[in-house]
Structure 1
Amino acid sequence: MKPAQLLVTLLAAWAAVILLVMCAAAPGAEAATTCNALQLSPCAGAIIGNAAPTAACCSRMKAQQPCLCQYAKDPNLQRYVSSPNGKKVMAACKVPVPSC
């Protein structure tokens, strides 16, 4: 195989690997949501204080929606999920309040 052909073959292989990695990590991919309450840190001002939720907060709230029951069952987090401000943030972000 000529060096130019080898280079093209290697570049094509790397492009395929990169494409596979990007598809696996793409938003909306069928991968399971990683539950991490720290992902909701943009919502702290709205949940703890009385600030309006930001776009970043709502984006994270929607991404973490599958985890809200887990957070509601955690003694350290349940007061935030079930608080009046927590419910206001979910309503403002159009995320249903979990019924667990």
Structure 2
Amino acid sequence: MKKGSSLFAIFLVATVVICLGELLMAEAVTCSVTELASCAAAIISSEPPSSTCCAKLKEQKPCLCGYFKDPSLGPYIKSPNAKKVAKTCGVPTPKC
């Protein structure tokens, strides 16, 4: 096998492994808005989010677009305070 072909094969395998790893991580998350209950006080009262809130928000990151699109959850998730909490926790607003 030529050196160029070997490098391409290694690159291809590495890319597939990385993509599968991200896919499996995304599938491992169970989307449940109740997981974000620890963020309620921060969203409602503008108090700083707890470390538990930030951890749960990061865990639920793959689910946020679904929450944004849900007519009953969207107004809460899209609120200025919710965006502030997400920013404080280092979770970017998803582009859905």
Q: TM-score, with normalisation over the residues of structure 2?
A: 0.71
Q: d(CA) in 1 for partners of 2:40 and 2:60?
A: 14
CA drift of 1:48 comes to 1.6
Bigger radius of gyration: 1
**Cα distance, 1:81 vs. partner?**
1.3
Regions of 4+ moved over 4 Å: none
Matches within 5 A, 1:17-36: 30-31=24-25, 32=27, 33-36=29-32
Tell me the matched-pair count.
Answer: 72
- Report the equivalent of 2:92: 96
1:87 correspondence with 2:83: yes
**Quick check: 1:66 aligned with 2:62?**
yes
- 1:18-57 residue pairs with structure 2 within 5 A? 30-31=24-25, 32=27, 33-57=29-53
Q: Going by fraction, where is helix more abundant, 1 or 2?
A: 2
CA distance in 1, matches of 2:73, 2:94: 14
Q: CA RMSD in A?
A: 1.4
